[in-house]
Amino acid sequence: MLPETYKSELKDRLQKVGNPREMVVDVMLEVQEFYGWFSDEALEQAAVLLGMSSLEIEELATFYNTIYRQPVGKFVIHVCDSVICWMENGYGELIDHIGKKLGIGMGETTPDGLFSLLPACCIGYCDHAPAIMINKTVYGDIAPAKMDEIIETLRQEK
C-alpha cells in the first residue's frame, strides 16, 4: 500500500491542476518508484487516486517503455534499438556482448536482481551512437570494454 502521506500530498497536487489526467505520467512514475515496478496493485491504486478506470491507466502504462508492468532489476539497461545505432560498426557484437556479460537475453533480469536488459527505440543520443540508458543516466559511444566498466562500477555500487 502506498503511504498515506503520499496519497494526501497527491490529492493536494491534483486539486491544483485542472484535470487529473494531466498528472497521469507523473503519478505512474512516482508509484513505480515506490514499488520498484508498476505492479497490478500499483496500477489499481493509481487509477483510484486519479479517478480513472484501470483500463485507462493500462492503456498508458503499456504505451510507455519506462513504465515496467513486470518486475525489473535494480538497474534497467535500455539498449537503443533504432536506425542510427544500428549503423554503427560493431552494434550487433555489442548487443551479443552485453547479453553474454550479464548472462541474460533481451527482456530478462539477472538472477541476483541487479540488471534487466530491454531494447528501447531511439533515446535521442544519436551523435554518440551506439547509446544506452541505465535508469535515468544516458551513456554514449558504447564499446564492449566501456560496457564492462559500467557494469562493474554498478555492481560495486549496489
Partner 1 sequence: MPKLIIDNREIEVPEGIKVIEAADRAGIYIPRFCYYAELGAVGACRICAVKFVDGPVKGIEMSCMINAQDGMVVSTTDPEARDFRRHVIEWLMMNHPHDCPVCDEGGHCLLQDLTESCDHGIRRYKGKKRTYVDQYLGPLIQHEENRCIQCYRCSRYYQEFAGYKDLGVMGIAQRIYFGRYAAGVLESPFSGNIIDLCPTGVYTDKPSRYTGRRWDYERVPGICINCSLGCHITVSARYREIVYLEGRYSGKVNGSFICDRGRYGFFYANLEERPRQGRVRGEDVPSGRAITMAAQRVKEVSESHGAAAIAVIGSGRSSLETIAALTHVCKVQGWRGPVLFDSRVSSESVRTAVSCIAQELAVSMKEIESADFILTVGADPINEAPMLAMAMRQAWRKGAGVAAIDCRSLDWPFQFEQVTAAPDDMADFLAALENSETTVISDRFVAQIKSIAAKIRACHRPVVVCGTEITDSKIIYGAAGFVKAMRQAGQEAGLFYTLPAANSYGAALLDEIGETAEDLIERIESGEIKALVIVESDLWDTFSDRQRLIQALEQLELLVVADFMATEILHRADIIIPTLSIFEAGGIYVNQEGRAQWSPPAYAGGTPIKITGQGGHPPRIIRPDIPAGDISPAWRMAWWLADRQPPASHDLLLDWMGKTFPVLEKAANFTSEGIRLYLPEARRKTARETGGRKIQSLGEYLLLPVAAVFGDEPMAQRSPCLEGYAKHPEMWMAASDARLFDASDGDAARLQLPYGPLELTLRLSERIAPGTLIVYRCPDLFWQQFARSSRFIVPKDRIRIEKKA
Q: How far is the CB of 6 from partner 1 (least distance, A)?
A: 23
Q: Does 52 bind partner 1 (CB under 8 A)?
A: yes
Nearer to partner 1, 52 or 114 (CB): 52
In angstroms, what is the minimal distance from the CB of 44 to partner 1? 9
Upper half-sphere CA count for residue 7 (Cβ side, 13 Å)? 11
Q: Which residues contact 96 (CB under 8 A, 6 or more apart)?
A: none
Closer by beta carbon to partner 1, 55 or else 145: 55
Of 65, 57, 63, which Cα lies nearest the Cα of 31?
Answer: 57
* Identity of the residue numbered 130: P
123 vs 150, which CB is nearer to partner 1?
Answer: 123
CA dihedral of residues 130, 133, 139, 142 (deg, nearest 10): -30
Q: In terms of CB distance, is 53 or 135 closer to partner 1?
A: 53
User: Which one among 33, 41, 53, 106 touches partner 1, defined by CB under 8 A?
Assistant: 53
145 binds partner 1 (CB under 8 A): no
The answer to whether the CB of 124 falls within 8 A of the CB of 82 is no
Binding mask 58-77 for partner 1 (x = CB under 8 A): xx--xx-x------------
- How many C-beta atoms surround the C-beta of residue 49 within 10 A? 20
Task: Please report which residue ranges of 77-143 form alpha helices under DSSP H.
Answer: 83-87, 91-102
**Is residue 81 a contact residue for partner 1 (CB under 8 A)?**
no
List interacting residues with partner 1 (CB under 8 A). 52-56, 58-59, 62-63, 65
